[in-house]
Amino acid sequence: MKLNTENLSFENALEQLEAIVKDLESGRIKLDDAVDIYEKAVALKKLCEEKLKAAQLKIEKIETTGSTEPTLTLLDKIEE
């Protein structure tokens, strides 16, 4: 089963992923169906991770320098 995630928003993907987890945890799904559903969950998880990473790269960080004017810098990596 090929999942079309092309126009899926983060919120919709997360909602579907949560529903899949709930269904899998219920134990009411046949093994063959569970494998297909698991593959869909993996695709949804990947999509969510990609969308979060893209959003994170767009976050602007306010920096102050020696001047009185703050500057905005795109956050391009996680600072530790």
Supply the pLDDT for residue 53.
Answer: 86
Domain assignment present for residue 70? The answer is yes
Domain assignment present for residue 5? The answer is no
Q: What is the number of structural domains in the chain?
A: 1
Tokens coding 47: 């999509």
Domain assignment present for residue 19? The answer is yes
Which domain does 60 fall in, by range? 10-74
Global confidence as pTM: 0.66
Using one digit for the tens of pLDDT, what is the confidence trace for 53-74? Answer: 888 777 766 666 666 677 766 6
Residue 77 pLDDT exceeds 70: no
Whole-number Å distance between alpha carbons of 25 and 44: 17
Residue 30 pLDDT exceeds 70: yes
Whole-number Å distance between alpha carbons of 66 and 40: 51
10 against 5, higher pLDDT: 10
